[in-house]
Amino acid sequence: MREQLSIIPKPVSVKYNEGFFKSESLPDIIKKECAQEQFGADTDKVFEAYRLIIEKDRITAEAPADAGMHHCMETFRQLTLSGFKDGVLTLPCAEITDYPRFSWRGFMLDCSRYFYSVLFIKNLLDVLSLHHINRFHWHLTDDQGWRFKVAEYPLLTEIGSLRKNYRIPDLPPSGGFYTEDEIRDVVNYASVRHIEVIPEVDLPGHASAILASYPEFGCTGGPYEVEERFGIFEDVLCAGNDRIFDLAEKVFDTLAGLFPSKWVHIGGDEVLYNRWEACPKCRSRLKELGLKRPAELQSWITFKLVQMLSEKHKTAIGWDEILGTSNETPNHGFGDDSCPDGARQLKLPKEAVVMSWRGDEGGIKAARLGHEVIMSPCTGGCYLDYKQQDSREEPGALYAKASTVLKSYSMDPVPALMNEKDAKYVIGGQGNLWSELIYAGKIAEYMIFPRMCAIAESLWTPKDKKDFDDFSKRLIIHRERLDNLGINQYRGSLC
């Protein structure tokens, strides 16, 4: 008989009582609204709080708001996925009190490098909801594909959504795009599960799909193609061409019409400045703005994009390069890497949210400057396309060391070097699945789980209640739940 409730993420409190609840079918749940004051959570998180009371003859769900009730029912769903034994649902009597540590608990799926189906995304949202994940960051554009229609720029999908099949070059071009109805379907499906969908368009770099569709937006005029290769490419949007902002305006209008979320992710990562350095129009722009180096043009572009979204009542999120921390190296075409990315004269607007991916440093600096921060460090177990073990038999990429389940569990959105004042700007964190090497949904599931279970606990559970040995024991039963949902999962060493 199982006497413990192996819930992931671990609740704030579980108080066990004598006896067991037993039922041969799914029982009715008594739902009650309760006062917020019953929970010790911060005001911005209390609406997600809940209490689940399991007694011998009844099960009661209590919450002060719909979101909390949803999380309560997802916790109960976990118990039903593993609680039936010989046809009888058997649960120890207990009182569970729960609420999240962070308000942003996210997962990012890259649908540019590999075009995942709506069915796969919806199934994934179901499982993410089971773990109280409440943000779905949908990476919709990159060098390898543009995934939604913009009425004023039809070639973005007619040309930009397709590329050569890099795995089997003789096959027809691969890719596609999501229709407006499909996007609304995903957004609505997520909303029912209290998951907010945040779209990302990558600007001004990672723009090969844009340039292949509209070569006039590049510095050289092309020819360009939707990339079948993976990496960082020199061709970016031309900072000397005002029409790139006309494009951004229509893209943002389209996103505003499809996504109710207050956030739009504008990318901003891995922008190379070689083209801007050589381009006469970009050099004229530098002179016009009184700037000295091509790198400074990125901060100018970012400033304008943030303001454009603000006028549409949207808040911009960007990768940590938008801060203006240095990302220049000799490989980027400059011999001196001491110059900031362009923040000398144009500061990042305070409302912009910084997503720290290159490590903790970007998040620490952003918080110090008063920006809200989402932590997703590739060095901290958040990049789920990394190999889970250093083995040639394992799928994924290997950067320095494998990214184990333990590493994902050890991720803390508040780094040890961050002071208490700055920690208040950290709104949460997320796991990311980049799909350069992940060319099938079942491979994606294998890369995501159980590391995303570990990240979910890092984002939900109070820090002082986390324990990896305890998590590992709970994961044994939790794996049965994933199996019952038909989810592929990694089963090797956790460390």
Task: List, by residue number, the catalytic residues.
Answer: 142, 206, 270
**DSSP β-bridge partners for residue 374:** 355, 428
Tell me how far apart the alpha carbons of residues 87 and 26 are, in angstroms, rounded to a whole number: 11
Tell me how far apart the alpha carbons of residues 289 and 479 are, in angstroms, rounded to a whole number: 57
Tell me how far apart the alpha carbons of residues 71 and 59 are, in angstroms, rounded to a whole number: 15
Tell me how far apart the alpha carbons of residues 28 and 53 are, in angstroms, rounded to a whole number: 13
Which of 382, 348, 383 shows the shortest CA–CA distance to 368? 348
> DSSP E strands: which ranges in 302-436?
315-319, 353-356, 373-375, 426-433
Tell me how far apart the alpha carbons of residues 50 and 52 are, in angstroms, rounded to a whole number: 7
**CB-CB contact of 286 with 299 (8 Å):** no
**Cα-based distances in Å from 119 to 116, 123, 449:** 8, 6, 18
Chain CA centroid to CA 461, Å? 19
DSSP category for residue 26: P
Tell me how far apart the alpha carbons of residues 431 and 201 are, in angstroms, rounded to a whole number: 18
